[in-house]
Structure 1
Amino acid sequence: MQPRNMSMRGVVDLGAVKAASEAAAQRAARAASAPQAGADGAADAAGGFVVDLTEENFDSVLALSQQAPVVLEFSSQRSPHSVELGEVFDRLAAEFAGRFVLARLDIDATPQLAQELVVQAQVQGLPAAVAVIAGQLAPMFDRAAPQEEQLRQILDQLVAVGEQRFGLTGLPGAPGAAAPQGEADEDAEPAGDPLLAAAESALDAGDFAGAAQAYRNVISDYPAHTEAKLALAQVELILRTKDVDVDEVRRNAAERPTDVDAQTLAADVDLSGGNVEDAFGRLVETVRRTAGDDRNKARVHLLGLFDVIGLDDPRVVKARAALTSVLF
């Protein structure tokens, strides 16, 4: 089986499952003819909102997360707690009636698919479940299942997040579900990452310090979260430059060419003003002029500015080569 085409954002971006290769295209073709959740693939006992997740219907089931949260339940008949959890989930799926979709993954019946998802979702043991909201995966619980009332509250929160942040109203027939639309609203805001909701709310309120802390919290839990790292670097740049006197910063930098603090702040001002190459050139030159701790401080700051712009940017590539030349 070919590796599934999922981009990683610390949590797994399951919305990136698409035909980016011949294998992915073949999966999509199989998915197009596979039973849909809520139809033939669903469990009658849960009112048609439970589906057994397989390699063949993977893409089509996860596509339902654009209508309602999809809960991926990792299941095994060898785990009594997992079996008990499945019974609770079935009752709640019937109760919620299409406001979420339960996708049950039998790790014994589909070991290859299970292995992929266990690794990418960082599942440590059963019972376990993760949620997919508008294509974005977020953890629910792992190795310890909540009680039924606690699980009901978790699902209520998932449904609320889906409705409030992404406009998810449930599958057709669910209470409050919107009527199917022929075309998507072109002006609709694209779905975001639920893990970044707190940071985005802080940004909306103009609380840059709060946003920075929220991004740090995400990175603490998900060290590989690329978007959070990039956003944190950008917000920290704003915090460093938002109250400075630009003329004074530039004057101090001109008067003290080997003062690392003066040069790094001037580079921040350059970058925030759109003068990317000037910022990079200033710090490369500062690295060249300094030594010891000062040189390392300038180097580390420059690397941080690379993160703000993005490592694939041609200006970053050029400046990185210049830095290497100065250092070695």
Structure 2
Amino acid sequence: MTDPAPGAVLRGAVDLSALRNRPTTPAAPAQDPVPVGAVSTLFMDVTDETFGQALELSRTVPVVVDLWAEWCGPCKQLTPILEKVVAELDGRLVLARVDVDANPQLSQAFRAQSIPMVVALVGGQPVPLFTGAVPEQQVREVFAQLLQLAAQNGVSGRLEVQPADGEQDEAPAEPALPPLHAEAYEAIEAGDYPRAIAAYEQALVENPRDAEAKAGLGQVRLLDRIQDADLQAARAAAAAAPTGIAPQLLVADLDLAGGHVEDAFGRLLDLFAALPADERGPVRERLLELFGVVGDEDPRVLRARGRLASLLF
């Protein structure tokens, strides 16, 4: 995980010039936060084609960019925290979500080698924030520093959220989560992964075909295994024991959580091939679990399943 504090000054190490859709104007002088306009939402999904809008908006309020992917379990845990904290800041920040798989130009521009990755845009310039899932309190502290940095650089506006034309003031209530799913979500937010695991496991006992519980169980098991892991120490242990099952499993978990999906699968498949048949069980089980975390339809999963099948038969 990188240092979660914004830099003291704006840095231009990431070149976003190719993603601008129209000319920009100089940032306004520093001032106290004031209302500057109305928007329909403080959360947006941006693409390679629409990212210029986020750049322009960053001249009014800081834009927090959440780089994520559908297969990334830690991303799914972090995004609701980002949304919650942004909403509480009452229009002083905007959250822009970028699916790195669908938007390769943005992924390359931000050098997103590991996700979730969170950066900010202030006056059209990038400010690195943090990489990896972090606790809610840490997100609050980073965003507070970001607002201070933005104000120092003349970006201190505030947006007012208004319903879009024809939109009802109150959105329909979402269906309530099943009790065990709700318990798991509550435990995850509290950082109590064992309790979340127990809730999902009980949900699967009651309904073995509960796909959401199965996916959630794989994700939270992954988070539980890596939450206190040190990447450098884990890699050193794995290098010292090339066929050691536990150290290789841990590095594969860390690789997958950091977005290095093919590295994680390749490591486990190489280990599976090197082990005697009677020792392969834990590796196969971990592979199947991580396949579920990434998603059965993902091309990387399909390729890894093919190699696993060839090793089995």
Q: TM-score range by the shorter chain?
A: 0.3 to 0.5
Q: Report which structure shows greater RCO (CA 8 Å, sep ≥6).
A: 2
Higher Cα Rg, which structure? 1
Looking at secondary structure, tell me which structure has more helix per residue. Answer: 1
| TM-score with structure 2 setting the length | 0.44
